[in-house]
Structure formats: C-alpha cells, structure tokens
Amino acid sequence: MIRVVVAGAAGRMGQRIVHMVHNHPELVLSGAFEQSGSGAIGKDVGAISGLGEIGVKITEGVDSVLDRADVLIDFTFHAVTVQFARRAAESGTAMVIGTTGLTSEELTTVRTLAEGHFPCVQSPNMAVGVNVLFKLVEKAAGVLGDAYDVEIVEAHHRLKKDAPSGTALKLGQMAATALGRDLAEVGVMERNGIIGERSDREIGIQTIRGGDIVGEHTVYFAGMGERLEITHRATNRDNFARGAVLAAHWVVSQPKGLYTMFDVLGLHTF
Ligand SMILES: NC(=O)C1=CN([C@@H]2O[C@H](COP(=O)(O)OP(=O)(O)OC[C@H]3O[C@@H](n4cnc5c(N)ncnc54)[C@H](OP(=O)(O)O)[C@@H]3O)[C@@H](O)[C@H]2O)C=CC1
Ligand SMILES: O=C(O)C1=N[C@H](C(=O)O)C[C@H](O)C1
C-alpha cells in the first residue's frame, strides 16, 4: 500500500482528497495535518470530511506526519507549499502540488528542489478535462495564429485567494507559447478607463469572483466575423481530487524531477 499524507486536510480540496484516498484500493491515508492554531487539530479527519470516523487524527504541522508518508499531497497556500517542498527534499518524499498562486521565484525553488531530491507532480489543475483543454488551446492558437485575439475569462468562488487562477495563467501560457509570445510581456490582467484600441499581441485574462462557483474557464479566439469559444466548467471538486490521487499513485514510482499532469495522463503527444 502507498502511504499518503494530506496537507490542509480540513480544507475544501483536502476533504475531497481524504475521501478519495480512503476509498482507493492501493492507497492508505497515513496522516492528515493542518497548521498550528487550526480548530481541526485533534479531530478525526473522517469525521471532518463527512466519512465518519476512520481513526486518523488531524495533527499539527508537516513534521508531525512526514515520516509516515510515501507521498505528500498539498492543496494549501503558496508560501507554505515551498516550506513543504523543502521538507520533502530533506526526506526524499514524493509530492503532488495542486496549490496555485506560487510566485515565479517559488516555482523555481520547487523545481530546483524536486529535480535534486524527490519526484513531484505540480499542476494548477488536476482535472482531466482541463488538461485536455490546455492541449486544445495550444492547438487552436497554433492553427488560428495572430489573426485571432485570445481572451481568457475565469470564474471562481468568493473565498479564492489568488487571481487570476493558476489554470487561467497556464491557459495563457499555452496560447502564448503556441503563438511565439511571452505571457509575462503580453498578458493583460485588467482594463479600466481610456485604454485605447486592443493591441494585436496581447492576451487578456479576466477574473470573476462570486458565491460558490467551483471553477470555470473560457478561452475566446475572436476573429473578424467569427469567434471560437472553448469552455470548461467544474461542477464539483471531485475532478481535481481524482486527478491528485491519480498523480499520487503515479509519482511514487518516478525518478526525482518535476512533472505535470501531462506526464501522468500521457498527454504530451496529444
Ligand atoms: N490544482 C488543482 O486542481 C486545484 C488547485 N486548487 C488550489 O488549492 C489551494 C487550496 O484550495 P482550497 O482547498 O479551496 O482552499 P482551503 O482554504 O479550503 O484549504 C486550504 C487548507 O490548507 C490549510 N493550510 C494553510 N496553511 C497551512 C499550513 N502551513 N499547514 C497545513 N495546512 C495549512 C488551510 O488552513 P486555514 O484554514 O487554517 O488557513 C486550509 O484548511 C488553492 O491554492 C487553490 O487554488 C484548488 C482546487 C483544484
Ligand atoms: O481555488 C480553486 O477553487 C481552484 N483553483 C485552481 C486554479 O487556481 O486554477 C483550479 C480550480 O479551478 C479551482
């Protein structure tokens, strides 16, 4: 059995991952933790996540459980993800990182640590449908080329902390790369006032936050006289959790290095 520890186990994603790990025939939930001060510490993680008691208590901090982990699944907060990656590097523990909002410096740190010390799957979206969307957008941008304006709109629940979503940024990167552009140069994340005409090369990424929207992404390829729109809508979090659990099962038998869901799902050549 593969021993899985879940970080942020009482969170929205943590709870769904606990469910999926608990019900997986080849995985065992060997630990679940929250940060110091959390009201969930000491409680049975099954009771918190709606499974009923399963005999695994939520403990305090990564060091309380890391020695019980073959793989650590992290859906928490960008700054702590890097701390967990440092600890995983020391112990050689595999990781699955779903947390978004990492700065480019934090992403570089995670990459360097993983390449030197442990296998890690990192993706801003673990859902199969979204990973297919990434590839469709890459292909569509490559075929349509500069004659079509690329605009991305994402919508999420009112409690989300980062914007734009990690998924929207990756969609922007996929389109930018296919068009030979650099998203850091051409990405436009806000428009307000007398901004003038749209430039040919910009890629717009706009954000909606409200209510309990789980996660929606639309990519527009707007041409003169026609428009292609490709949308993914998540209606619950199980798609993300299922992908994270698939990645956890896959990553434990990989050599050290940083991987994406394209590796897990075999989508590189799609
Ligand atoms: N890759 C993907 O497929 C997906 C990625 N995400 C990303 O996952 C992240 C989490 O999302 P979500 O579950 O909705 O957020 P939540 O806030 O519901 O869950 C995060 C959990 O992590 C806990 N946490 C924060 N700091 C620590 C720490 N130092 N140690 C242990 N636990 C900690 C939080 O505790 P506290 O409440 O005390 O802060 C909380 O319980 C976000 O970055 C989101 O964008 C979300 C869905 C899919
Ligand atoms: O915070 C969320 O909820 C989600 N975050 C991810 C992101 O930032 O892309 C993925 C998903 O859309 C849900």
Spatial separation of the C-alpha atoms in residues 252 and 124, rounded to whole Å: 20
Distance CA 182, CA 102 (A): 18
> In which element (H, E) is residue 246 found?
helix 238-251
**Confidence band (pLDDT; 50, 70, 90) for 6?**
very high
216, 241: one domain:
no
- Cα 79 to ligand 1 centroid, rounded to whole Å: 11
Average pLDDT rounded to a whole number, residues 45-65: 97
Over residues 121-134, the pLDDT tens digits come to 999 999 999 999 99
141 plus 79 within the same structural domain: no
Q: Let me know whether 11 and 63 are in one domain.
A: yes
Quick check: is 191 in a domain? yes
CA of 155 to the centre of ligand 2 (A): 9
For residue 167, which atom of ligand 2 is closest to its CA?
Answer: 9
Atom 11 of ligand 2, residue of closest alpha carbon: 215
- Triad 254, 251, 255: Cα angle to 5°: 20
Count how many Cα atoms sit within 13 Å of the Cα of residue 35 in the half-sphere of its side chain.
Answer: 10
Q: Are residues 230 and 241 in the same domain?
A: no
Task: Read off the CATH number of the domain in which 18 is found.
Answer: 3.40.50.720
Q: Is the same domain home to 93 and 61? A: yes
On whether both 132 and 110 belong to a single domain, the answer is no
Q: Which ligand is nearest to the CA of 127?
A: 1
- In the reported structure, the alpha carbon of residue 163 is separated from the centroid of ligand 2 by a whole-number distance in angstroms of 10
- Measured from the CB, is residue 78 less than 6 Å from ligand 2? no
Expressed as residue numbers, the domain containing 254 is 2-122+237-265
Q: Which residues contribute to the annotated binding site for (S)-2,3,4,5-tetrahydrodipicolinate? A: 157, 166-167
Q: Does residue 176 lie within any of the structural domains?
A: yes
Degrees to nearest 5, angle at CA 237 with 133 and 100: 65
What is the C-alpha separation between 34 and 49, in angstroms, rounded?
A: 13
Q: Is residue 107 part of a domain?
A: yes
Pocket lined around ligand 1, Cβ cut-off 6 Å:
7-8, 10-14, 33-35, 38, 75-77, 80, 98-101, 123-126, 162, 240
Whether 63 maps to a domain, the answer reads: yes
Residue 236, both tokens: 């619950």
Buried b / exposed e along 4-38 (16+ C-beta atoms within 10 A): bbbbbbbbebbbbbbbbbbebeebebbbbbbeeeb
Same domain? For 114 and 243 the reply is yes
Question: Are 23 and 91 found together in one domain?
Answer: yes
Residues 140-184: pLDDT tens digits? 999 999 999 999 999 999 999 999 999 999 999 999 999 999 999
Does residue 30 lie in a domain region? Answer: yes
pTM score, whole prediction: 0.98
Domain tally for the chain?
A: 2
Which of helix, strand or coil describes residue 113?
helix
List Cβ neighbours of 208 (8 Å cut-off, separation of 6 or more): 153, 154, 155, 156
Query: Would you say residue 270 lies in a domain?
Result: no
Nearest to 123 by CA among 1, 2, 133, 205: 133
Q: Cite the active site residues.
A: 156, 160
Are 205 and 258 in a shared domain?
A: no
For the chain, give the percent of residues with pLDDT over 70.
Answer: 100
